[in-house]
A = this chain, B = another copy of it.
């Protein structure tokens, strides 16, 4: 969580050198003056380059809200190191100022011993709230939301609201959309700061309030939440629980991360890798290997089937060995054509451009695309067989015709399997290149040998 639209200076390379110098000279007064101007993202990037000793030194001179925000950007390992070096008072200061959603993210990752140390200073009510938030399923709206929002009442006047925002607004994530709640914190509506600022002082919020606000539920999946943001272009969305009580808000900066993570997850699944939230460089080779080996094993064992087909036609291959050289080309063309179709459909399903009900449209479209692409490939491959490979015309025809059939079959399989997966509530992304290739390989070889068998009388 970054405070939405908080913009401060960008740190340039030359600034870092100045900071390094000041730190070296232990001129903490000037250092503080300098560093306070920078954006917390850049302060984090700067501290990340220092050792723990100097990091703690810089942390001590940061503004309290910066310290909390910078701290929340470090990864778990770095946080543990820092927490070990901080005094109790320093830990308390950071915990007081850290945004609630960042605290939850942190507590979820920290070793339990460290969590105890961190939560020593929380009162009972706070602890109860933390436990409640820890219980929201991963990737749910509840796990994304934060509690720092401005809550107003419908009977307040514009002047009262502005006074309230002046006093309470500064530690909120956003003051630009204020939520109106009734008894038991039921969400009644919202009013934008734009409307408050442009109204007269004695206007009652009730007159400015928009009712039936667009909101999400604590248990909604983050992918759905992202789609709501995308559809409406909002900066923040309120989150309500089953009883319609306002429990938090989600801001768009967290959604940018969700969108990136969801796309990354799809890329991983589509390449037959078990998804992981850590970046490539963060993962150990063991972990990377574990995520990759399962699917490779499944696909390898599935290829047995393709091997059996090859085996069945051994006699045919031995009598016309020229057939063998086209096997890689036919297998690859089928795999590639199928991957093209499945990728487009998987992505369309993910962005919402394609729905299960478009099934017939997709099949019909893939069929027409396959006819065009198949004819072109068959034509070119026939010429290639004659001019480059110098094979008999019969074999050239068999290869071209097989290619045509393979393309049509691959595109139909690649186009339909992702939709079928979605229909069965599976992730369509598993129906991508690797799996499609394995399926299509077996089928295309069968077509190849059967066509050869019939056409060449072997």
Contact = CB atoms under 8 A, between A and B. Distances in A.
Interface of A: 1-10, 37, 39, 41, 162, 165-166, 169-170, 175-177, 190, 192-194, 197-198, 210-214, 229-236, 251-253, 255-257, 259-260, 263-264, 266-268, 270-273, 279-281, 285-286, 288-289, 292-293, 295-297, 299-301, 303-304, 306-308, 310-311, 314, 317-318, 321, 324-329, 331-333, 335-337, 339-340, 342-348, 351, 353-354, 358, 361-362, 365, 368-369, 372-373, 376-377, 380-381, 384, 388-389, 403, 407, 433-434, 437-438, 441-442, 445
Contacts of A403: 300
A436 to B, nearest CB: 10
A5 B177 contact: yes
A7 B328 contact: no
A333 B307 CA distance: 13
A414 B253 CA distance: 33
At the interface, is chain A mostly helix, strand, loop or mixed? Answer: helix
A442 B193 CA distance: 64
B361 A281 contact: yes
Contacts of A314: 321, 324-325
A148 B252 CA distance: 21
B198 A197 contact: no
Given A193-B193, A197-B197, A297-B380, A5 B176 contact: yes
Contact of A373 (B198, B289, B354, B365): B289
Most buried by B among A1, A176, A190, A193: A176
Given A252-B252, A257-B230, A281-B353, A273 B340 contact: yes
B299 A333 contact: yes
Report how many copies the assembly holds.
2
A441 B297 contact: no
A345 B176 contact: no
Given A233-B4, A256-B233, A307 B293 contact: no
A433 B339 contact: yes
Contacts of A373: 289, 292-293, 296
B7 A214 contact: yes
Which of A3, A310, A317, A384 neighbours the largest number of chain B CB atoms within 10 Å of its CB?
Answer: A310
B332 A437 contact: yes
Contacts of A433: 271, 339, 433-434
A442 B292 CA distance: 23
Contacts of A9: 210-214
A214 B333 contact: no
Contacts of A332: 299-300, 303, 306, 434, 437-438, 441
Contact of A351 (B211, B264, B266): B264
A343 B280 contact: no
Contacts of A4: 233-235
Given A7-B210, A293-B377, A332-B434, 18 more contacts: A5-B234, A5-B235, A41-B231, A169-B198, A235-B235, A267-B347, A279-B348, A279-B353, A281-B361, A289-B369, A303-B332, A308-B325, A314-B325, A318-B321, A328-B331, A331-B331, A332-B437, A332-B441
